[in-house]
Amino acid sequence: MSSPRHIVLLGSTRSGKTTTAMFLVEKAFFYQRIIVLDPYGEYEILELPVVKPKVPFNEELIKSIPSVLRPFSGGTEMTAAITVALRNAGSWTEFINNLNVLIEARRFTRGAEAVLSRLLLLQDEGVLINENIPLGSGVIDFSNLSEEAKYLAIQFVLLRIFLENKYDRVLTLTVVEEAKQQKQGILTPIVVPMLDLASKLNIKLITIFQTLPAEKEYRETLLTQNLIIHELGHLAEKYWLECSFDKKVLDIKKPEVLVFFSDENKWKKVKVKAKKYPKPKRLEPRVSRRKQLEEPGEEAEKMLKVKEKGESIIEDRGESEEKVKEENSGEESVNFSSLKEIEEVFLRAVSKSLEKRFQSIDERIKRLEKSLSAPEFRDVSVLEEKVRVLSQRFERLEHRVAANSSSFERIFDLIESCEARFRELDKRLSQLENALRRIAEYLEYREQLRSMRGEEV
């Protein structure tokens, strides 16, 4: 992670690339901002806030759109159409309307249509916003977008990250999942051509590929970065011959990975201790923003029908507590009847305890009302004395609470010190085991030597 070069994770499906990326993210303590571009909803289990992709209205960002869609040619006609449409435009809606006017007037028609076709797709998905929301650390979840909008939105969010770091130069780690899939038809990837610029802007990229790009220029650029090679299957021999990979790439087996340190020009095979993460949350079925606006009644009717059938409908990640419990348990099958029985028993016990507490509170209120109606409480001096006594009691309670909190802190400190001692003891035990193993090997060797000498005699 300390190397100035970017990291490229390469491997076949289910070879552990995402797990390795999560491991690297958790070790990136010194980065001021960590952004994960997650197209499949796999990184929600990280201890990072999960947000939806948003692209604010920004003139500099809009002027850079040709660099996203045409990273090499620049799109001259697109640039001209954007420059004209930005005049007197203060929002995405006004900008899109100006593009429509250009198309109707047959001015820069091809460029305006190219930009408009992409922006309408993102507008329908609710990605374009007028407010300038600051971009902080978190997982940007693209899984609810359509496939075409998903990778286009990733391009725009990447562009936004580059533009923000152009001015504040915050040390940023960005994970781009399945970067190769950004090249789909009309889309052209900006990740590979902008690797050098990312380094200058204090951005470190972790890009994940299933296979290397077919374009020779892209492939050579990636091979100059730090590589973490997972199991490649039938492609291992091809890359060994064509890309000068180390021969160890032919026998990589999970959890092994082959690491190429670009700065030192060295290959090393290591084992990645995979951390067991809970299963990611399943998100609600994707519904486009336009459909939600145009057919709200029909959508609501469908949701009611699904609810009547007993299917789960989740409108937000935090609404369903039962779903979170099921995911955290890690069990593949759950006995729903037993859960219902447990829930009923629990509810009955809670309701009984609540009834008892309410009864005790009612009794205390009645006693207070009775005592306040007594003649002695009509005297102001007596009331002041009672209030003073109560305040003293509250102060003593506060002192006791503070003392308890400090004792808890001391207990936690003691637990941490014990854990450190246990780690040290574990380390020493491992050293002793190694020494005993060496002694046993030496004794075995001596025994074999003696037996050999006896045979000779």
Q: How far is CA 154 from CA 149, 266, 370, in A?
A: 9, 33, 69
**What is the structure's pLDDT at 276?**
61
**What is the structure's pLDDT at 23?**
87
In a domain, 356, yes or no: no
Residue 397 belongs to what domain range?
Answer: 374-457
In a domain, 421, yes or no: yes
- Kindly state whether residues 146 and 230 are assigned to the same domain: yes
Tokens encoding 360:
């005790």
In a domain, 90, yes or no: no
**What is the structure's pLDDT at 308?**
46
In a domain, 128, yes or no: no
- Kindly state whether residues 322 and 402 are assigned to the same domain: no
- Kindly state whether residues 161 and 236 are assigned to the same domain: yes
In a domain, 231, yes or no: yes
In a domain, 388, yes or no: yes
**Residue position matching structure tokens 């997972």:** 230
Write down the pTM of the prediction: 0.59
In a domain, 285, yes or no: no
Per-residue pLDDT of 163-192, as tens digits, reads 888 888 888 889 987 644 444 433 345 677
Any idea what the CATH number is for the domain that residue 231 is in? 3.40.50.300
**What is the structure's pLDDT at 364?**
76
- Kindly state whether residues 209 and 241 are assigned to the same domain: yes
**What is the structure's pLDDT at 277?**
57
CB 177 within 8 A of CB 35: no
38/162 Cα distance (integer angstroms): 17
- Kindly state whether residues 438 and 380 are assigned to the same domain: yes
In a domain, 344, yes or no: no
- Kindly state whether residues 178 and 305 are assigned to the same domain: no
- Kindly state whether residues 46 and 177 are assigned to the same domain: yes
- Kindly state whether residues 163 and 258 are assigned to the same domain: yes
* φ, ψ (nearest 5 deg) of residue 64: -90, 0
426/257 Cα distance (integer angstroms): 27
CB 283 within 8 A of CB 144: yes
- Kindly state whether residues 155 and 234 are assigned to the same domain: yes
**What is the structure's pLDDT at 186?**
37
- Kindly state whether residues 25 and 174 are assigned to the same domain: yes
Instruction: Put residue 373 in one of left, alpha, beta given phi > 0 → left and psi -120 to 50 → alpha.
Output: alpha
**What is the structure's pLDDT at 97?**
92
- Kindly state whether residues 314 and 222 are assigned to the same domain: no
Tens of pLDDT, residue by residue, the chain (457 residues): 678 889 999 998 888 888 888 888 888 877 888 999 998 888 888 888 899 999 999 898 888 888 777 655 556 888 888 999 998 888 999 999 999 999 998 888 888 898 898 899 899 999 999 888 888 889 999 988 988 888 888 888 988 888 888 888 888 889 987 644 444 433 345 677 777 788 888 898 998 988 888 788 888 888 889 999 999 888 888 888 888 888 888 888 888 899 999 888 899 988 877 666 555 554 444 444 444 444 444 444 544 443 444 444 334 434 444 444 444 444 333 343 445 566 566 667 767 777 777 787 778 777 776 766 655 555 666 667 777 777 777 777 777 777 666 666 777 777 888 888 888 888 889 889 889 988 988 888 888 888 777 754 3
Q: Where are the alpha helices (DSSP H) in 277-335?
A: 289-294, 296-308, 321-329
- Kindly state whether residues 192 and 312 are assigned to the same domain: no
SS3 helix, strand, coil % of the chain, rounded to 5? 55, 10, 35
**What is the structure's pLDDT at 134?**
82
Q: What is the domain count for the chain?
A: 3
